[in-house]
């Protein structure tokens, strides 16, 4: 029983990580039709920003309030990069979707290479607070605190994004834009501001995933973002593109399947089962579990 609970909670920790990456991807995709390959870069910037701040920023450090400050710095850095990417690279190619995707592809190649050039290709030990290394006993399972932290953060982010989408004016614009961008534009609303906002939100969530993922894995490396990104893509497709709630459901399913199959089957089999799941979902419901029937 203990094993099952441990696997479930670590699976949920992984799901939290996927959700943090996928939520931004899904919103950006839903609104702007852009498959953002540079999203892994935002994650890397968040992780390295936190890592750098913990060592160099006055007042920041691996413990207590210092760690919160370090994470805040990492998230701010990721958000800033996301906003810059939107303003400088994506916006000039407004509504030329394929070119926008191509630019993010180039950026993901160049950005990861830049991280690698600056801090080396090898994984660096991540400054994590001592309490995240410890375990908490839950129903007979010894669960690492780093995973629990991720789950709590993801639930908070989900709540915040949903509240923002539901109760603010910009949230309304974004929701409407995901449904039908042409109509929103025709009503005289500047969708481009919503684009920047969605990129900022997505960048912040991805950067948070980078910072907390560093805590979860214990190390930070330039390639971390791109390997997580592929599973985040799968989560977005299974969840139905443009739907944050769908991403949350799909992240939970993917995280749990991966963790359980990897444990009870061979290592790596879980990852393959996830792609199998993707194929099944596509065959039965091409629009994803929470997607609209009209969109593919």
Partner 1 sequence: MTNSTLDAPPARVPAELTPQRGRWQRLRPFLPLVALVVLVILPYSTISLPGIFEGPVNSPGTLQLLAICLIFGGLAAGYDLLFGRTGMLSFGHALYFAAGVYGTDVLVTRAGLPLWQAALLTITGGTILAALLGAVALRTVGIAFAMVTLAFAQVGAILVARDFGGLTGGEEGLPLDVSGLPAGLVGVTNTVNLYWLALAYLTLVVFVVHRVSGSPTGRVLAGLRDDERRIGVLGLDPYRYKLVAFTLAGGLASTGGVVYVLIVGGASPHITSSELTLSLLVMVVLGGPGTRWGPVLGGVLYMYLDHRLTAFGTSDAVDNLPAVLSRPLSQPLFVLGTVFILAVYFFPGGLTSLAPRLSHLTRALRPQRTPPG
Footprint on this chain of partner 1 (rule: CB under 8 A): 29, 33-35, 37, 89, 92-93, 97-99, 101-103, 105-114, 116-118, 226, 230, 233-234, 236-237, 241, 266-268, 271-272, 275, 278-279, 282-283, 286, 296
CB of 190 to partner 1, least distance (A): 23
To which H or E segment does residue 102 belong?
Answer: helix 97-119
Q: Quick one: 4 or 117, whose CB is closer to partner 1?
A: 117
CB of 33 to partner 1, least distance (A): 7
CB of 142 to partner 1, least distance (A): 27
Distance between CA atoms of 212 and 153, rounded to whole angstroms? 9
Q: Quick one: 116 or 196, whose CB is closer to partner 1?
A: 116
Q: Quick one: 100 or 132, whose CB is closer to partner 1?
A: 100
The answer to whether 82 and 202 are in contact (CB under 8 A) is: yes
Long-range contacts of 104-108 (CB under 8 A, 24+ apart): 104/34, 104/35, 104/36, 104/37, 104/38, 104/39, 105/37, 107/37, 107/38, 107/41, 108/37, 108/38, 108/40, 108/41, 108/226
CB of 236 to partner 1, least distance (A): 7
Q: Quick one: 36 or 145, whose CB is closer to partner 1?
A: 36
CB of 199 to partner 1, least distance (A): 16
To which H or E segment does residue 89 belong?
Answer: none
């Amino acid at each position: 029983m203990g094993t099952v609970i441990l696997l479930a909670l670590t699976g949920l920790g992984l799901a939290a990580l996927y959700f943090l990456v996928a939520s931004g991807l899904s919103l950006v995709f839903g609104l702007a039709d852009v498959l953002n390959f540079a999203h892994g870069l935002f994650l890397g910037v968040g992780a390295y920003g936190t890592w750098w701040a913990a060592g160099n920023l006055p007042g920041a450090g691996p413990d207590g309030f210092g760690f919160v400050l370090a994470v805040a710095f990492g998230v701010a850095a990721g958000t800033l990069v996301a906003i810059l990417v939107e303003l400088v690279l994506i916006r000039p190619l407004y509504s030329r979707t394929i070119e926008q995707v191509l630019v993010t592809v180039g950026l993901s190649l160049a950005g990861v290479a830049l991280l690698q050039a600056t801090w080396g290709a090898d994984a660096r030990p991540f400054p994590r607070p001592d309490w995240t290394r410890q375990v908490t006993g839950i129903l007979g399972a010894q669960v690492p605190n780093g995973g629990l932290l991720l789950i709590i953060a993801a639930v908070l982010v989900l709540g915040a994004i949903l509240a923002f989408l539901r109760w603010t004016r910009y949230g309304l614009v974004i929701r409407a834009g995901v449904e039908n961008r042409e109509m929103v534009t025709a009503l005289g609303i500047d969708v481009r501001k919503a684009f920047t906002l969605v990129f900022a939100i997505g960048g912040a969530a991805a950067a948070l995933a980078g910072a907390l993922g560093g805590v979860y894995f214990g190390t930070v490396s330039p390639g971390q973002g791109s390997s997580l990104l592929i599973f985040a893509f799968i989560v977005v497709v299974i969840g139905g593109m443009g739907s944050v709630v769908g991403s949350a459901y799909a992240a939970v399913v993917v995280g749990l399947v991966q963790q359980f199959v990897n444990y009870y089957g061979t290592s790596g089999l879980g990852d393959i089962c996830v792609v199998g799941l993707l194929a099944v979902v596509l065959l039965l419901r091409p629009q994803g579990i929470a997607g609209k029937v009209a969109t593919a």
